[in-house]
Amino acid sequence: MIRVLVVDDQVIVRTGLSILLGSAEGLTVVGEAGDGEEAVRLARELQPDVICMDIRMPVLDGIAATALITADPHLQAEVLILTTFDIDEDVFAALEAGAAGFLLKGADEETLLGAVRSVARGEGTLDQRLTRRILREFGRRRTSEPASTPPSNLAVPLTTREFEVLELLAEGLSTTEMAARLFVEQTTVKYHLAGLLQKTSSRDRLQAVLWGIRQGLVGVDPR
């Protein structure tokens, strides 16, 4: 059962999300918060698996709350940012703060539930749509060109296969799609992905891609 904490300062939005998520198979809403400070407190108290976090809230905003939650070694919760804006400075700040993914508030029920489940699995929301657009913009903010192979002087030494997995993550591919592209079993992809996440100290796939962009190891398709 995936335990979810819903955080939004608008009561109507918060209640609607809680009803929707709480009625879905395999999900249970363990709490609600109306601001970031309360979200951090409840995260520590309730130990949710996923936190659906609004960005703009009183007392403590969602970005600051996300940073506190992801930095806490006693919390394993993944943060899914819910935003009204598709491209916004706050989204980039949230990614830097450690958010596992983000979703527009206008997303349909299937997309929302899929995102929560994906984030709970540690896969982020690399769905080739909104996330790819965000990553493209994030990548443009970096000045270095992507590498074609793992640099020998990289502080975090990646194997060739781990580097290939990182490149495919940046394309938004799923485990199944990566296995097909690399002509290997899904278990093999998961093995190299685990190594990549460990070496880069990434909580999930999205954070690994952002790490790769910062290092100039991967680019994002401009199309």
**pLDDT tens digits, 92-149:** 788 788 888 888 888 888 889 988 998 898 776 544 555 566 666 666 655 455 555 5
What per-residue confidence (pLDDT) applies to 47?
96
The CA-CA-CA angle for residues 152, 153, 154, to 5°, reads 95
pLDDT tops 70 at residue 88: no
What per-residue confidence (pLDDT) applies to 127?
47
What is the domain partition of the chain in residue ranges? Answer: 2-125, 144-214
Instruction: Name 103's bridge partners.
Output: 82
Quick one: CATH architecture of 144-214?
Orthogonal Bundle (1.10)
What per-residue confidence (pLDDT) applies to 133?
64
What per-residue confidence (pLDDT) applies to 129?
55
pLDDT tops 50 at residue 85: yes
For the ranges 35-39, 197-201, 204-208, the maximum mean pLDDT occurs at 35-39
pLDDT tops 60 at residue 190: yes
Burial call 43-70: b when 16+ CB within 10 Å, e when fewer: beeeebbbbbbbbebeeebbbbbbbbbb
Q: What is the pTM for the complete model shown?
A: 0.75
Topology at the third CATH level for domain 2-125: Rossmann fold (3.40.50)
Strand pairing of 78-83 and 2-7? unpaired
What per-residue confidence (pLDDT) applies to 147?
53
Region 44-65 average pLDDT: 94
**pLDDT tens digits, 9-27:** 999 999 999 999 999 999 9
